[in-house]
């Protein structure tokens, strides 16, 4: 990979607590790759390089607080690897699939995976709706991919019966939930849970949204069969 002189600032004190001493060097190497090749390839804006830790790496890493141990994760619209690659660095126990449609981005992701030795990560070029492993992932993550109504349609078909969507969201998350209520009902989702992550470890906490299935037993059933089952259910 090519390099420039615009390296990110050194890791802040919070990074050791978030990534752990044994994984911090990998996080620093990834930050350097984002600030150099990531900028050159147009994956990260030049103005983002000096604030990679605060705005990107740390707030993505605390998403791990909402993910159980040893599960499978699908990160849709991975872009430069946020949050998917950050989670892979912070949590080597996770099996992570990065889904991204653009070739220049998947090329970068694959190079980073190889360079950092992240053997538990698979890179898939495509869109979420093209992923063949339907209802196969314990957790489906994303960051700044789409408004919640569209994100639900892309993400929930990949969520396992007892899994959940765990998406990074901004301060308008409550308004997004209200706007997406028709989609939540039509897909059979449970009531969304707004999460505040990193409150004890970061200066600025991260907002995320967790959405599970209302009835895991119906996941993957054709809609007509699901409706027939509901009509036969004793009252």
The predicted-structure confidence for 59-69, as pLDDT tens digits, reads as follows 999 999 999 99
**Domain membership flag for residue 3:** no
Quick check: is 78 in a domain?
yes
Give, as one character, the DSSP assignment of residue 9: P
Is residue 7 one of the residues assigned to a domain?
A: no
Domain containing 124 — which CATH number?
A: 3.40.50.150
- Rounded to the nearest integer, the mean pLDDT of the chain is 89
Q: Could you tell me if residue 221 is inside a domain?
A: no
pTM of the model: 0.89
Binding residues: 77, 82, 128-129, 143
Residues spanned by the domain of 87 = 13-212
pLDDT per residue as tens digits for the range 174-202? 999 999 999 999 999 999 999 998 877 77
**Is residue 116 included in any domain, yes or no?**
yes
Name the residue among 52, 95, 53 with its Cα closest to residue 70: 95
Report the binding-site residues for S-adenosyl-L-methionine.
77, 82, 128-129, 143
Distance between CA 61 and CA 91 in Å, rounded? 9
Integer Cα distance of 80 and 2 in angstroms: 16
- Bridge partner list, 96: 73, 121
In a domain, 175, yes or no: yes
d(CA 111, CA 32): 13
pLDDT, tens digit (0-9, with 9 covering 90-100), for 122-147: 999 999 999 989 999 999 999 989 99
In a domain, 2, yes or no: no
pLDDT tens digit sequence for 9-54: 688 888 888 899 899 999 999 999 999 999 999 999 988 888 899 8
Residues 6+ apart with CB under 8 A from 233: none
The reply to whether 60 falls in a domain is yes
As for how many domains the chain has, the answer is 1
């Amino acid at each position: 990979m090519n390099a420039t002189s615009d390296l990110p600032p050194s890791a802040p004190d919070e990074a050791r607590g978030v990534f752990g001493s044994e994984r911090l060097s990998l996080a620093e190497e990834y930050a350097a790759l984002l600030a150099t090749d990531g900028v050159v390839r147009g994956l990260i804006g030049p103005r983002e390089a000096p604030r990679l830790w605060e705005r990107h790496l740390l707030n993505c890493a605390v998403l791990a607080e909402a993910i159980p141990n040893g599960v499978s994760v699908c990160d849709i619209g991975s872009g430069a690897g946020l949050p998917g690659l950050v989670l892979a660095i912070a949590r080597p126990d996770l099996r992570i699939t990065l889904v991204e449609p653009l070739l220049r981005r998947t090329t970068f992701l694959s190079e980073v995976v190889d360079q950092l030795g992240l053997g538990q990560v698979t890179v898939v070029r495509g869109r979420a709706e093209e992923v063949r492993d339907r209802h196969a992932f314990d957790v489906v993550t994303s960051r700044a991919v789409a408004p919640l109504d569209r994100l639900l349609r892309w993400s929930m078909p990949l969520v396992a019966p007892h899994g959940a969507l765990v998406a990074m969201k901004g301060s308008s998350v409550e308004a997004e939930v209200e706007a997406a209520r028709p989609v939540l009902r039509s897909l059979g989702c449970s009531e969304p849970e707004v999460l505040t992550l990193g409150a004890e470890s970061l200066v600025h906490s991260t907002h995320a949204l967790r959405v599970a299935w209302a009835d895991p037993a119906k996941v993957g059933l054709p809609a007509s069969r699901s409706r027939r089952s509901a009509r036969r259910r004793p009252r």
